[in-house]
Amino acid sequence: MNPDIQSREDIQTLVDVFYSRAIKDDTIGYFFTDTMQLSLEEHLPRIYDFWESILFHKSLYKGNVMLKHIELNRLAKISDQQIDHWLFLWEQSVDQLFQGEFAAEAKHRASLMTQLMKFKLSQSSELGFIQ
C-alpha cells in the first residue's frame, strides 16, 4: 500500500516522476522539449508551488496557469486528446506513488483543470475572449 501525499517533498517526487514521463512521451513531449524548450530548473519549482498551493492551501504559486497554456496553444495547438493524455500520465504517476485523500484530490483537481483548459483553449481564439 502506497502512502498518501503528505509534504512538499512528496509533491516534488510526484511532479518529477510525471515530468520524466511527459518529456519523453510521444504525444505531448515535444511541447516541453521543442515548443517551449523548457528549463526544468526554472519550471519545476513553480509546479511544486502550484501543487502545494492546490493540495495544502498555501499561497505559494504566483502566476496564471491558464494564460501560460493559452500562450503555448498559440505556439503549437494543444488538442483535447493531448490534454486527456496529460491527465492520463498525471493519474498514472499519482497511482504509482501514492494513494489516499490527497492523492485522490490531486487526480480530481487535475481532472477539473483539464476540463477548464479545454474550454479556455477552445474559446481563446474567439474575438473578445477574456481570460
Q: CATH code at 42?
A: 1.10.490.10
What is residue 2's predicted lDDT score, i.e. its pLDDT?
96
Host domain of residue 49:
8-122
127 in a structural domain: no
> DSSP string spanning the chain?
-PPPP-SHHHHHHHHHHHHHHHHH-TTTHHIIIIIS---HHHHHHHHHHHHHHHHH------S-HHHHHHHHHHHSPPPHHHHHHHHHHHHHHHHHH--SHHHHHHHHHHHHHHHHHHHHHHHTTSTT---
What does the pLDDT read at residue 37? Answer: 79
Q: For position 105, what pLDDT does the model report? A: 98
Q: Which pTM was predicted?
A: 0.91
| Sequential pLDDT tens for the chain (131 residues) | 999 999 999 999 999 999 999 999 999 999 988 888 778 898 999 999 999 999 999 999 988 888 888 888 888 899 999 999 999 999 999 999 999 999 999 999 999 999 999 999 988 876 565 55
* Count: domains in the chain: 1
pLDDT of residue 127: 57
Whether 1 is covered by a domain: the verdict is no
